Amino acid sequence: MIVGVLPARYASTRLPGKPLVDICGLPMIVRTYNSAKNSCFLERVIVATDDERVYKVCKEHDVDVMMTPTDIQTGSDRIAWVAENIFDAEIVVNVQGDEPFISGRMIDQAIEPMVVDPSVQVSTLAKRIENIEQLASPAVVKVVFDMNNDALYFSRSIIPFVRDAENISDAFGQHVFYKHVGLYVYKTPALQRFTTLPISELERVEKLEQLRMLEHGMRIKVVETEFESISVDTPEDLQAAINFYNTTLRES
């Protein structure tokens, strides 16, 4: 079974009660769940939360939800706990719970390599960086990958470094850069292995948990996507999501 899991943590310093913020009549976690259900590959979609308020709202909206232990520290650990308790989950997809309009096709793109190639254990997405602001921002994680589309490195810095460029604008004109889209697909044994590995040095420095996999020799298949996804992490992001719904989805 291919299972999509949406970790939903109520506490957020930048946007309190984030999973339950209203986006044009529905809580964000419900909108994200409904969007994920548009995937053709996902056979089950589950919200994973340790908060009774989130659990209650999910039940009210007929959302498949599981309560997880309160001592689980990260979203990846929460997803691994769910996978352990769904005994026929062969492939587990980490769908971020704060992306209310994520495309089902986007999720399927990340899953596809694992369906066609049994050797793939972990896959993720990358999108071409469209402007210099994204390239310069440390909040936008960059990724480089080899000729087989296996990840070489992820960084908050600009990678690769364009040696002959005079400035960032020149670099942007000389090379195609990619940002990492934080949607992960795991074979269940790979997920369990990842969550039992110790925090690695590069992970500690960059604050990017996917580097733990690379440092321990795990391959990550990178799929290029043309889709953009709106992540809601601040009040400004929330307003942008509401504006997107009102100007794009409401009219469609």
Q: What is the DSSP track for the chain?
A: -EEEEEEE-S--SSSTTGGG-EETTEEHHHHHHHHHTT-SS-SEEEEEES-HHHHHHHHHTT--EEE--TT--SHHHHHHHHHHTSTT--EEEE--TT-TT--HHHHHHHHHHHHH-TT--EEEEEEE--SHHHHH-TTS-EEEE-TTSBEEEEESS-SS--TT-SSHHHHHHHS--EEEEEEEEEEHHHHHHHHHSPPPHHHHHHT-THHHHHHTT---EEEE---------SHHHHHHHHHHIIIIITT-
Alpha-carbon span 146 to 153, nearest angstrom: 10
The pLDDT-based confidence of 75 (bands split at 50, 70, 90) is confident
Lowest-confidence region among 46-50, 84-88, 101-105: 84-88
- Percent of the chain clearing pLDDT 70 (strictly above): 98
Is the Cβ–Cβ distance between 177 and 127 less than 8 Å? no
The DSSP bridge partners found for residue 65 are 47
In angstroms, the first-to-last Cα distance of the chain is 33
pLDDT in tens, 190-230: 999 999 999 999 999 999 999 999 999 999 999 999 998 88
pLDDT in tens, 225-249: 999 888 898 999 999 999 999 987 7
Architecture of the structural domain at 2-125+179-233+240-249: Alpha-Beta Complex (3.90)
pLDDT in tens, 146-167: 999 999 999 999 999 999 999 9
pTM of the model: 0.92
